[in-house]
Amino acid sequence: MKKLLWIIAICLLAFGLYKQDYLSVLQKAAVICLECVGIG
């Protein structure tokens, strides 16, 4: 069961990287950080 969960997690991670979803996550994180500092 544990190995199956690892395989599923790796597949989902690879799919997210393939679709370049990390770019939108980084963009949103940068906006939130700038708002916290008071710049954005």
Q: Write out the two tokens for 37.
A: 């500092």
- Does the pTM surpass 0.85? The reply is no
- Cα separation, 38 vs 9, in Å, equals 36
Residue 25 has a pLDDT of: 87
CA distances to 18, 19, 20, 29, 30 from 15, rounded to whole Å, are 5, 6, 9, 21, 23
> Which residue spans within the chain are E strands per DSSP?
none
Residues with pLDDT less than 50, the chain: none
Residue that has been written with the tokens 């679709």 in this structure: 19
